[in-house]
Structure 1
Amino acid sequence: MFTRFKPTWMLESIYDLKPAELKKRGIKVVLTDLDNTLIAWNNPNGTAELKHWLEIMQEEAIPVVVVSNNSKKRVAQAVAPFKLLFISRALKPFSYGINKAKRELKLKNHDLILVGDQLVTDVAAAHAAGIRSVLVKPIIETDAWNTRINRFFERIIKKKLIKDKAISATWRHSLDD
């Protein structure tokens, strides 16, 4: 029942994704959630670490595309400083936004991953779309009001996945760990 919430990998942060590890797995594009994955939901400016990671991805020709449930206006404003492509109103946990990105970028399932901080939206959407997923630790502990409900259910699901040894209780720093 909970297998649709099981991420392929669990990393401490999106910055732990390294181009060599992605390329080794045939990953050509990183799809990422916005709030609490790429930027703190309450700090749209990002960090120096984010800018550096995005530069590395660009140098290695691995596009980063934001797939967010937020409005077009909100996402466009948030990603403008980073000059990232984006899909808004992605309707996660459904596959709509991911499938739209696949079509627009002309990619196959094995060409991309989705990185996100939530099991019930991001990981479930990746499963629905048939792609691999990376669950990352949320950037900050607090959430927007609409995410708090998801976090309640996520704690139950995560506890069950750990108990069943479907996932580790430990965050990793590499896809190879």
Structure 2
Amino acid sequence: MWSLLVPDLYIASIYDLDARALRARGIRGLIVDLDNTLVPWHGSETDEALRGWIRRLRDAGIEPCIVSNARSRRVEAVARQLDIPSVPWAAKPRRRAFRRAMERLGVNPAETAVLGDQLFTDILGAKRLGLYTILVVPVSQREMWWTRQVRRLERRVLAWMKRRGLLTGPVGGGGGAR
């Protein structure tokens, strides 16, 4: 059970992700969460740093797709700004949305990584399909009230993982290659 929550990589910021190293692992598709991963919670504006990050992924041969539990309009607005596909109303950690994203990207599980800020949605859902998982420190402290409650448990689980040697990190200083 615990193995379904342990990310394969833990990073401080999306900008600390080494796209070329990911591609060397055979990854061609990157499923990315929206809230507190790409943009702050409830955010819908992208900036040049984020658009540059998407370009670097593509330059490395990795195609991204947003998979979010958020509502369609906002998810699709961000996806349009970044010119990438999206799967809104994902109901993570259910597997259906991850499968749909892989179909849209034309990749199989061995070629797919998932990047997100939550253990119990992003990491758990991806691990249930055997996908490579990357946990990122949330970009903002501002969150939905329910998520704040889940974070309390998540912090305890992360501390337990670190004490057991199951997790190191986060890797990077949060600045990365902005």
Matched ranges for 1:106-117 at <5 A: 106-117=106-117
Amino acid at match of 2:155: R
TM-score, with structure 1 as normaliser:
0.90
Moved more, 1-10 or 53-62: 53-62
Deviation per CA, 1:131-156, whole angstroms, max 9, x where unpaired?
01000010012212231122122112
Distance in 1, Cα, partners of 2:4 & 2:52: 32
| Distance in structure 1 (CA, Å) of the matches to 2:84 and 2:105 | 13
- Corresponding position of 1:54: 54
Normalising by the residue count of structure 2, what TM-score does the alignment of the two structures yield?
Answer: 0.89
1:153 and 1:89, CA in 2 relative to 1: closer, same or farther beyond 3 A?
same
The C-alpha deviation readout for 1:5-50, integer Å capped at 9, x for no partner, is 1000001111122331111100001110000001111432123321
- Equivalent position of 2:68 in the other structure: 68
**Contact 1:2–1:157 (CA under 8 A) maintained in structure 2:** no
Residue 141 of structure 1 aligns to a residue whose secondary structure is coil
Q: Pick which of 69-78 and 100-109 moved more.
A: 100-109
Alpha-carbon distance in 1 for matches of 2:160, 2:42: 30
Question: Helix, strand or coil: the match of 1:135?
Answer: strand
For 2:62 and 2:132, the matched residues in 1 are separated by 16
Contact 2:32/2:115 (8 A) holds in 1: yes
Q: What is the percentage of aligned positions where both structures have the same residue?
A: 28
- Report the equivalent of 2:176: none
Q: Secondary structure at the match of 2:66?
A: strand
Q: Could you list the runs of 5+ residues in structure 1 that have no partner in the other structure?
A: none
Contact 1:11 1:137 in 2 (8 A): yes
Q: Contact conserved, 2:46 with 2:81, CA < 8 A, in 1?
A: no
Quote the RMSD (CA, aligned, Å).
1.7
Greater shift in the superposed pair: 74-83 or 110-119 = 74-83
Q: Which moved more, 1:98-107 or 1:78-87?
A: 98-107
Match of 1:167 in 2: 167
CA deviation digits over 1:39-91, x for unaligned, max 9?
Answer: 11143212332121112223333211001111222211232211210011211
Q: Write the distance in 1 (CA, Å) between the matches of 2:61 and 2:165.
A: 36
Q: How do 1:91-170 residues align onto structure 2 when only pairs under 5 Å count?
A: 91-168=91-168, 170=169
User: What count of residue pairs does the alignment treat as equivalent?
Assistant: 173
In structure 2, C-alpha distance between the alignment counterparts of 1:136 and 1:55, rounded to whole Å: 19
- Offset at residue 173 of structure 1 (A): 3.1
* Structure 2: unaligned runs, 5 residues or longer: 174-178
Structure 1 segments (4+ residues) deviating >4 Å: none
Q: Structure 1 residues 104, 56: closer, same or farther in 2, change over 3 A? A: closer
